[in-house]
Structure 1
Amino acid sequence: MAQQRQFSVMATALGAVVGALGAFLIILPAEASRLQFWRLNPTSNQIEIRTEAGVQPRAELVYGPTRLVIDLPGVVLGRPQINQNFNGPIRQVRVAQFNPQVTRIVVEYAEGYTIDPNAVQFRGFAANNWMVQLPTPQRIQAASPTPATQTPSTRSGPTELLSWRAESTGIFIATNGEKPQVASINRRNSTRIEITLDNANISNRLSNRRLELTRFSMGRVRAEMREQRGRPPRVVLTLNVDRRSPDWQVNTDVSGGFMVMPRNTTTGTAQTASATTPTPAAGQPPRATVQRIDLGGSELLIQGDRTLFYSVGWEGRAYRIRLRSAQLGNVQEPRLAAGSPLSKVEFRREDDQTVSILLTPAPGVQILNPRHINAESFIVPLQRSGAAVAANPSPTSPNTQINVPRPAAPAPGSTPVPSGRYVVVIDPGHGGRDPGAVGIGGIREKDIVLDISHKVAQYLQQQGVQVIMTRTDDREIDLAPRVSIAARARANAFVSIHANAISMSRPDVNGFETYFAPGRSSRLASAIQNSVLSSINIRDRGVRTARFYVIRNTSMDSALVETGFVTGAEDAANFQNPAWRSRMAEAIGRGIMQYLRYGG
């Protein structure tokens, strides 16, 4: 492993699965990270979800029409989208692979019906077995909408483009009505692509019909109506792209809308640097300047002078909003008076292109996911516990996040640790522009250790341990923020997971080793080393000391694990075996549990 490690934070990849009303059962082969089955009991109005591996669902109530969206991160559906239509308050249920890492379940209600988001109850019997209790649908008691704003009661009729947003694989466009009919995709010249959709129109809510991007070697996306005498209307999407950009495609097999993406984008990360990162000199648009950060009542407004690209996550108790291709203008941290929903607001410059805003909620306040206003601004809702929520929200109300608890019990046969007793930070090495070591067959350290780290986290969560990952997808973060995450979380243990390397001419060098900082306790490192060697057939390279930044600067017991050599003939073959990676992750997890229970 190189002495100077670079690290990156990944945003949690979301997976979503949708339960339906109706008594039916879907069973899939018991493969890793697959949805084993889901079932809705119409008598009890309950959805049961079971996955092969542990999962932490996320849920949201979306309006216009009312939809309960349940996302299952890291879960694979393994089959085409499923649509089930029903009579009564529930109109349709859709189960689909939302993106390569997320399965989504969408329960859509008929026009005039909604549900109380506070009455949706999740119960985790185990990390891989969840029950969702759906509340009784309620009729919306409100004035009838005008014809211009009515929501169609069925999905027949033209495709209506409602909103769009940048995703890791392309552009997601939310729609009402039928699936879009792609009439043509033409490259008019080297920098302009036109996508024509038949029988389609544009909602007035679509953000000024323009979207600016700095990824995929793109500039601006424009949507416009093209009227045809005597024929249904059509929409033309115009993509301004770099000359290096590949051809683009449309994927209509997506729940709630469709995706527009480059043809070589098959996973959550782009395939080549040139397809995602404009050259700094000529291709990169100017940075957005954050001009306003205002706290008013129960909302925080963030506004820039051009399109803002952001991601969110948690660093201990602080909610982090990371703005990419952005800089802070002449803005001050909001003054927090007595009774403010926030106890602290911090600004942090990550690098020349990235700034972060850290929000620490006051006691009893929940920070909800940002709500998009337009390309240049968004709002972060702040909700106090116990705050009244309208039983019959308007279809134009903002989306409502639904609290999903941790599983009430660990997987059968495990020995749980009391909930809240231990906090462990798992730190997957490298990421983003830093692949780490590259070995035999082109395997990359950052990919291997992310997969192993996710599995370690799942194992620990099943034991009742609270786990915080410094990254959950392919993003960059420096060394200091990783240490800061552990400090803010007041973690009991910090484990950084890596893969080793040496010259490609030395495939004979293989083995597992664990490091601790000089002058610090070796108990955690020794517990992990012993657990792995007793469970995995791998060469023993021992427990060693090293002055790696992340284990030298953390205040809790820390260890850096080298899971093997990507340049080693034995280890490289093992790294490419998913079952072996799972066994490695469980062995690391058991070592951490040994340390937590008995101090090594």
Structure 2
Amino acid sequence: MKLHWLLIGSLVATGLATGPAQAGGRLASWQFNENQNRLTFRTAEGVQPRAQLVSDPTRLVIDLPDTSRGDVVTNQMVGDVFKEVRVGQFDENTTRLVVELEEGYTLDPSEIRVQGENPQEWSVQLPSPQRQEQEEEVAQQPSSPPSGGGQSASEFSHPNFRVTSSGLLLRLDSPPSGDIEVERSDDGERVSFRVPDISLPSELPRALPVDNYGVSYAEFNSDGNDAEIILHINEDSPDWQAFPNTSGNGAVVMLPQGGMGTARQLSSPAIPGWVEDEINQSQITTVEAVELVDDQLQVRADGALTATGEWDQASGIYEMTIPNAKLADPVNGPELERGSPISQIRVREEDDDQVVVQIEAASGVQIEDQINQPSENLVAIGWRRGQGQAGTGGDPTPQHQSIDVPQPQQRETPRPSPAGDRKDQPLIVIDPGHGGRDPGAIGIGGIQEKWIALSISLHLRDILEEKGVRVHTLREDDRYISLSGRAEMANRVNGDFFVSIHSNAISMSRPDVNGVETYYHSQGRGLAASIQRSILSKINMRDRGVRQANFYVLRNSSMPSVLVEAGFVTGREDAPRLADDDFRKQMAEAIAEGIIRYVQ
């Protein structure tokens, strides 16, 4: 066994040498009343809390920026439905309060009320906890290993074939152009998809295991100029359908009628031994480098590779496992300097032809439990600052939903124009979300968020320019820009307002969730409200409200900033509209009117 330590020792030494929290404020007291489901706390200085509801297990997380923990009690065991309340120092400038529920219970985030009597005295009123339905639990954990033998979808992935909660995705070398024929066998145990005038990727094996959503495995055949995909399924499975995706090199998305949720509870037939042999006989690839690029840790090899990941709850270390791989000698590793988001990286080669990469995040950094594959010889995992669970325990990579925290007795102060002529011609920075290797959410019919965001943004740019408003668009084509790069670009051009365009998503099993919502961070509330009102006045959509959030691009932009979620790509109402360019233009017109009304 080889063991490579990719670690700069002085990084740990200087990290441990830092003293206690340097925040100016202090948490003076807190109390949780289990009879009233009410948390109260008081700080020595004024504070504007941030709150989010986190899953698995459900817990309400409240961050107090620029505040130290002080000498308060750090833990209160509650029992019954509410398990405990704990207080920790999240990072040197932030105190975190966590109210954790027993497993199997959740809270309605819309019913959580955070109120400040004044900037130093706050209360949090929680609704009665609700029992989680089994379907909700499964929906939040689409990668949980299903019953049955063999490798599960959570244990295996391939650069060209992915099992996701939105569908089975097969990447191609060129976009499909014709209609996909679907045929189910008489015994109901096989469904075939014939894709005309297309060739399968040369590195795709003859078969790959699925072992999820009632699917045992997938076969891939070339028949003349056509390609055939055969899914071996549970005989009780719903009928399946397929959608072509013509973006980039193209893909085929396969899912049962009604969405993946309709097959979530089905058992998968056993995987034949020859399918597993097909995987085990794959060519060994060599891991050459571990690199930090933008907001990602990337592992690069000399050939195709796949990876899975899991958390070591005891140590808080994320472990990425790469099967059918060995280490180069030497392995190139990153220089970890002071302030690096990653504090330690360990790489080892194990005896069973697999490479393990252990990643430990720095304080205040959360590693995202989702491995991406920018290319066949590259796997990557991202992180974000200020969203983790360091110092407070719990799962470091949960789903989370921001909770609105109104500012007590404070009014929004308009940002003064930096130059005289800017009053008549404000500079609007438009940020089309995602792009390039980051498709964002993938919805019904394979529509991708990055293209929707770009289309709305370009329409918005043209409309604003026609009305005499100065505009700077962060991307005008399909390219990747990191979150930090977006904030830096917006600040560098000295914009007056920042508008980020996105579309929303939830599980494919929830097509009933639809609607528009607009987020702001601090001084963008007025702009967010104006945009939301304008959209609802011009388009018949469900109103999901104006909410405060701590998104990276919002909190790191030096101007009033908002983020528009223009509908759900997974919604039966929103998805077909978002796929329609006329609707996207209508959405851009509504956003533009909201911007103009506010800035004028």
- Would you call these one fold, judging by a TM-score over 0.5? no
Higher RCO, Cα 8 Å, sep 6+: 1
TM-score, L = length of structure 2: 0.32
- Using the size of structure 1 for normalisation, the TM-score is 0.32
